[in-house]
Amino acid sequence: MPLGLLLVWLFALGTRLWGLGRFNTLVFDEVYFARFARNYLAGEPFFDAHPPLGKYLIALGIWLAGGFQPWGYRWLNAVVGSLIPVAAALLAYLITRRQRVGLVAGTFVALDGFFLVESRYALINVYLVFFGVVAQVVWLWGQQWKAQRWWALMGTGVALGACVAVKWSGLGFLLGLWLVWGVQRWWMPQRQRYYTAMDMVLILPLVVFTVYSLLWLPHLAFHPHSNLWQVHVQMFNYHRSVASTAHPYCAPWWSWPLLLRPLSYFFQRVHTLSEAVPVIGPPLPMADTAWVYAVHAMFNPPLLWLSTLAMLAIIPLARRSSAGQFLLLNYAANFLPWVLVSRCLFLYHYLPAALYSFMTLAVVWDWAWRSPPWGRALSVVVLLLIVSGFLYWLPVYWGLPLTPQQFFQRMWWRSWI
């Protein structure tokens, strides 16, 4: 598995770093997050609707790169994004104790388009997912090495505090651990329980809250006229005020597992491939367009749809499988709370839940692989579909030039445009 993980990481790193500075302009929410990061470096106050850690890290990348330019505000995201497949592989292995499941899960994540796109721009979702998965890896590691339970609990709390300090939705990872722990207490005898009620109900939340609060101190230093409570009231009121139709790419929560409404992060029409991008001036009419550059934030369609089917398939099996319980509960914890949210939602809110669906598909894939002859043949077909989907939609993940016809061939549904 170590060699396999190294290859997965190198593949993920290469696909994320290649052509990273292609578009010398701020793409999608880079207009907020990259600029906020620059504001930190300049000591300028600003209002942000999310906690500060993601922007700290983008600012660190800019500072280490020596300037505010595309490579500077994107490279650290690409590196952290390349580690998500590795972290997912470790988590899947700890859940199942099967190296092949871990390796396949990491491969699936590396072959997904949305995680690739999010890793290539100065956005913050990769930090949310990375810290959340690391927290769960450390928590499960503490179950394996009970003598190190205390340090594992501290590490889990630090990682979860960092996760929530990227976005409040990081609490889904904490909720998932609470649900898994509750099921363990219900089903496991006393001698097999790894974490106590004091660990999970008192100590872990206290560590999470402490780390989360400390990570606000640099932000508050730039905003001396605000305190932590006032900032959170402003943030909450902002999110409450966002209408459900505030953006053309709003997508209701129930549409996410079906991939009904991805997002366009960048779209540019050009006459020739020699033109500088972005083009200054009014948009080129489609009739005069020879090439388009498009970055579409969308999952690998075969991977997502098969993963959705895998989640449905594992529901009746979860009661007899601890791995199935872990995956199903964490998927629900990161997906179902969005039912209660009335503001405009986007497909990227599904990233944490989608990660567990990918791991679930890896479990089902491994089960089929161990059921020859038909199961092994089915596993090969599934893998070929996922690899083919990645390669087919790669131009709209990387923003490679396509003719208008080639672009629309990849937009299978009108709602994808």
Residue 57: pLDDT band by 50, 70, 90 thresholds?
very high
Dihedral pair phi/psi, residue 292, rounded to 5°: -130, 145
Cβ atoms of residues 261 and 249 within 8 Å: yes
Per-residue pLDDT of 281-334, as tens digits, reads 666 676 667 899 999 999 999 999 999 999 999 998 877 888 999 999 999 999
Dihedral pair phi/psi, residue 264, rounded to 5°: -95, 115
Sign of CA dihedral 187, 191, 194, 197: positive
Distances (CA, A) of 393 to 137, 302, 398: 31, 11, 9
Cβ atoms of residues 231 and 223 within 8 Å: yes
pLDDT of residue 284: 65
The pTM (predicted TM-score) of the whole model is: 0.94
What average pLDDT does the structure give for the chain?
92
Type of residue numbered 139: W
Per the structure block, which two tokens stand in for 240?
């409450």
Cβ atoms of residues 122 and 58 within 8 Å: yes
DSSP code at position 290? S
Residue 128: pLDDT band by 50, 70, 90 thresholds?
very high
Of residues 10 and 66, more confidence is placed in: 10
Query: Which of 74-78, 145-149, 287-291, 374-378 has maximum average pLDDT?
Result: 74-78
DSSP bridge partners of 267: 294
38 three-state secondary structure: helix
Strands 291-297 and 401-402: antiparallel
Dihedral pair phi/psi, residue 22, rounded to 5°: -55, -45
Residue that is written with structure tokens 């330019």 in the block: 69
* Domains of the chain by residue range: 1-416
pLDDT of residue 242: 85
Q: How far apart are alpha carbons 112 and 130 in whole angstroms?
A: 15
Cβ atoms of residues 209 and 164 within 8 Å: no
Q: What is the mean pLDDT of residues 109-131?
A: 97
Strands 401-402 and 263-270: unpaired
pLDDT of residue 191: 54
Per-residue pLDDT of 181-208, as tens digits, reads 998 877 766 555 678 889 999 999 999 9
- Beta-strand (E) ranges in 242-323? 263-270, 291-297
Cβ atoms of residues 109 and 133 within 8 Å: no
Residue that is written with structure tokens 């669906």 in the block: 357
